[in-house]
Structure formats: C-alpha cells, structure tokens
Structure 1
Amino acid sequence: MNILITGGTGLIGSALVRLWQADNKLWVLSRTERKSNHDNLTYITRLQQVDFNTLDAVVNLAGEPIANKRWSDAQKTAICQSRWQITDDISQLIQQAETPPKVFISGSAIGYYGRQDAQEITEDYQAFFPEFSHDICAKWENLAMQASNPATRVCLLRTGIVLSDEGGALRKMLPPFKLGLGGVIGSGTQYMSWVHLDDMVALIDFTLKHSKLSGPINAVAPKAVTNKVFTQALASRIKRPALLPMPAFMAKLAFGEMSEILLYGQRVVPKKLLDAGFYFRYPQLAQALAALDL
C-alpha cells in the first residue's frame, strides 16, 4: 500500500513505520529535512510533495503534546492549531483528488468526552462535558470528517493514555515513582483509560484493513482503571512505595487548567474494535506494565 503518515516521527508514528515499512510505500511528514535509509520510506516536509491520487491511506497523528506545558493562551493555540490546520489541509487534498485514498485515519482523543463519572462510555455516548479537551477534539474530528466521500472512509481514533517504555505518559510519571514520591492524584476515583503501544499500533493496522470500521473508534484497552488502582499497579511494578498523594488543590497550583486531565477522567470501552473482532494482547493493566522495560 501507498501510505502517508503525519506525526510519523512520534511515539505511535515511529512504531507504525517500523511495522509497515517492509511491505508498504510510506511517506512520512516531518517538520525538518530527514534522510531515509530504507527504500520504502520517504520523508517529506510539505503535504504537496505527495500525490494524493496515488495514496491508498492517510494516517494523521500530528499534534503538539497536550501535557507538555501549562495551558497558557499561547500553548492552547499551539495545541489546537497543530491539530486543526493539518487535518483541514489533508481533508481538502482528499476532496480535491480524482482518485482519493480509500481510508483516512485521523487522530483524536478520549478527551472528546470531557470529564465523566464511572459509567462506561462507548463510541455512541453523547453526553460530553464542555471543556477545553472536548473543544480540541470536536473541531479536530469535524475537520477530518470533511474528507468523507463515497471512496474514502474516515476513522477517528479516540486515544487514551499510551503506555510505552519508549516515551509518552510514562516518561513523565516514572521519575517521581522511582524516587518513592508517587501517589494518588486528587480523589483517586477518576478513571484512566489506557492502551499498550503494541496494541495501539495493532489496532491502527486493524482499522486500516477492516473496511467496515468508520467514524469514532475508542482506541483504548477494554479495562480502564481508577487513578488509585493505576498508581498501586505502577508502584508495584517498579517495586516502590506510592505514599505521597497529590491533593486536588496542589495539582491545580502546579499545573493550572491542565490539571483537569489529571483530576478527571473517562471510563472508555473500545466497543467498535471488540465487536469487529480485534484481539487485545494486553487487556489488563498488570499485563501491560509487566511487558514494559521499566
């Protein structure tokens, strides 16, 4: 297949490239000039460098990390525009193509649902909470859906916390935990929906090949856990105590508005993937953590 990947040098994108480059022709959008040492891999710096009439698929994973910095007005703008602009550009190029790609897989996040209680949330859940994380994802998804046409199915990956020993959320979590300074955040009852990187890559590959999948897809493992359970599991995995909780007021002082993604959560279920027959290699948190080199 002829596949364009944006965000292809990030955590998920790099893993996708490793999976696909042997059997597919890959075009990877990068902010900087890069040289490839593989015949099937070409780095580009502009979308116009690839002919959308020749593409079989587009996978859009680009975006400023949401938890890298406090949410100043400037950082909020960077988070939004880094997702919205490229998604809009891709949708327009797909619309303009005479023979458009068969599938457009575009990133989103479970933040679409906003803060939720303990009820299980599937893809058809509509009672979202209006806040910044929802606003980002709602427009992001709407821009991607503009590419939908009889020849192109659009899939929206509502991704949770991706667990990997190569980076991502665990890179930020581990240092205090290894020092014995980890602990429950806020009440600890907020749910954390997560997915192992291997399963994340596998479900994208499954979505690419499964022609009946479209629209929102919850890209998370089947068993979300509370922050308290996650904290205990991570501490146990690295054999450290987790005795220093972070009260809600401290999280708000330390992170400002960004503390919302720590203090509130969603109990998300990957119903579409399960119904389609996708097999999760790591459905349980203990399994996923045990498989990582922590």
Structure 2
Amino acid sequence: MRILVTGGTGFIGQHLIAKLPQDSQITVLSRRPEHAKQLFGARVTALQALPESGEFEHYDAVINLAGEPIADKRWSPQQKRKICDSRWQLTEQLASAIATCTNPPVFISGSAIGFYGDQQQRPIDESSDIDQHTLTDDFAHQVCAEWEQRANRVSQHTRVCIVRTGIVLAPGFGALKKMLPAYRLGLGGPMGSGQQFMSWIHIDDMVNLLLFLLNNNEASGIYNATAPNPVSNRQFSSQLAATLHRPHLFFTPAFVLKLAFGEMANLLLTGQQVKPTRLLDAGFQFQFADLTDALEDLLRH
C-alpha cells in the first residue's frame, strides 16, 4: 500500500508508521524532512512540500495527522492563527489534490473531541445533537468544525474518515509526559472541581483504530477515538497516583490555571464524556478499555 502521512514525526504519527506493514511505501510530509529520515531511515520518503496534485493518483491512502499542538502554549492571537492555519490550510490543499484524482486515495483526517465543546456530565457519541449556538465562542470547536468541513469536501469523491481524538496516553509524549513529573513527586491532583470528564485513549488503541479504518472499506464518516470508559479528572488523577504508588493530596484551583494559561485553561477545566459508539458498532476491539489497565501498561516500564 502506498500511503502519504502528514504529521508523521508527531507522536501519533511515529507510532503509526512503526506499525504500518513492512511492505508499505510510506511518504512523510514534514517541515523537517531530515528529522523524518533520522526517525524512520530508508523506510520512508520524506518531503518538505506536498507533491503535485497529479502525484496523488499514486497513493492508496492519505492520513492527515498534522497540526500545531493546541495545548502547548497560551492562546495569543498569533498562536490561535498558527493552530488554525496548520490544520485548515494543509487539509484544504490535501482535499483539493484528492478532488482532482481519477482514482482518489482514501482520506483519513484528524480532528478532536474539542468539537463537542463543554458537555459537562452528559454522555455523547457521534450521533448526539450538539447545540451549535452554545459553541460560537468555543475556540476548540471552531478549529475542529472548520478542519472537518475542509476534509469532508471530498466525501462524495472518495472514502473519508474523520477521527475525533481524545487525550492520547503514551509514555514520554503528550499529556502523560507533562503530568508525570509532579505525580512522581507526590504533588499530583485534580484540576479545578475535578468533575470534568477526560476522554482518553491508549496509544496502541489509537494506532490500531487508524489501521482499522484504513483497511475497512465500509468505514466512513465521523469516529470518536476515545476508550469506551471515560473518567472524571478526579478519577484519572487518583488512578495515576495509585499506579505510581504516590499520595493524592493536592489539587490545582481553577483560578491558578486561568492565570497561568489564560483561555487555554478551558481545555483543562471543561470536558466531554465521549463514547466511541461507531467504532464499537463496526467491530473494533479496544485492547485497553479501562484506565487502570492502560496506565499500568504504560507506566510499568
């Protein structure tokens, strides 16, 4: 299979490429192609710019994982623009190129559960009705909604899967990398009220579901990339401390997070109880459905 991966040097991309079949012909789009070659060696072709539109005829699939990290910096106007442009512009270019193909590749494109906005305690899945009027000032929703709309431009032309990703748990990457130092010192604890839900997924399940969607010719539309059993922030914090055999005594007040992170603190203080209904209905089996098993697997090394 001939596959173009954008964002291949990101932490999901790295794990995905490691599990693609050895006979795959993989092209990675990266702002630093030399870094991609260091990571993957001769296994990939690394490009700094997208191929010409005509070259997309030669791909069987395009997997679009690129995007400026949304939770790494305060949301200044400049950072918001970078977050949007890194997703919207590239997705628009990919969709435009795919639209010109006589035999278009499958298009798997990223999104995030931030699409749903703050749903508090309400369980939601891909079919849930979301009041769009309540999300007009929600930056994460705006990013995701436009991102998905641009990818779906070619849904009448080829098979398109939109993957709304939750909090991906992986050792040495992402949320766990940021949380572990404090928790290992016994200083971890819930944020704000701790009642906000955290819809998480183990990196192995994240990669496996991307492969599942890639190889399932019946798969198309929206899929929630989250484990079947989301937990509250307090439950997550308590389980992480217990897995590390550390106390669970501290908490971070909401006002401290707002002072430190500004508007971006909303990602930490609000949440969604997201269910992966469409993946389960399609027959996907999660290796790590429960947080206890996931954290023990990730942290035992």
TM-score bracket for the superposition, by shorter chain length: over 0.9
Deviations 1:68-97 (A, max 9, x none): 001111111111111111000000000112
AA in 1 matched with 2:127: D
Structure 1: gaps of 5 or more residues: none
Question: Where does 1:1-294 land on structure 2 (aligned, <5 Å)?
Answer: 1-34=1-34, 35=37, 38-48=41-51, 51-101=55-105, 103-128=106-131, 129-130=134-135, 131-150=138-157, 152-293=158-299
The answer as to whether partners of 1:123 and 1:271 remain within 8 angstroms in 2 is yes
The answer as to whether partners of 1:217 and 1:272 remain within 8 angstroms in 2 is yes
Deviation at 1:39, TM superposition (A): 4.8
Deviations 1:201-236 (A, max 9, x none): 000000111122211100000000000000000001
The answer as to whether partners of 1:28 and 1:44 remain within 8 angstroms in 2 is yes
Q: What TM-score, normalized by structure 1, do the two folds share?
A: 0.96
AA in 1 matched with 2:48: T
Q: What TM-score, normalized by structure 2, do the two folds share?
A: 0.94
The answer as to whether partners of 1:21 and 1:41 remain within 8 angstroms in 2 is no
Measure, in 1, the Cα distance between the counterparts of 2:234 and 2:119.
Answer: 16
Deviation at 1:38, TM superposition (A): 5.0
Measure, in 1, the Cα distance between the counterparts of 2:32 and 2:260.
Answer: 33
Moved more, 226-235 or 123-132: 123-132
Deviation at 1:176, TM superposition (A): 1.2
Deviations 1:3-31 (A, max 9, x none): 00000011110011111151311001110
Deviation at 1:169, TM superposition (A): 0.9
SS at match of 1:47: coil
The answer as to whether partners of 1:70 and 1:257 remain within 8 angstroms in 2 is yes
Q: Percent identity?
A: 50
Moved more, 135-144 or 44-53: 44-53
Deviation at 1:120, TM superposition (A): 1.2
AA in 1 matched with 2:141: H
Moved more, 36-45 or 46-55: 36-45
Alignment root-mean-square deviation, CA: 1.4
Larger fraction in helix:
2
Deviation at 1:283, TM superposition (A): 0.1
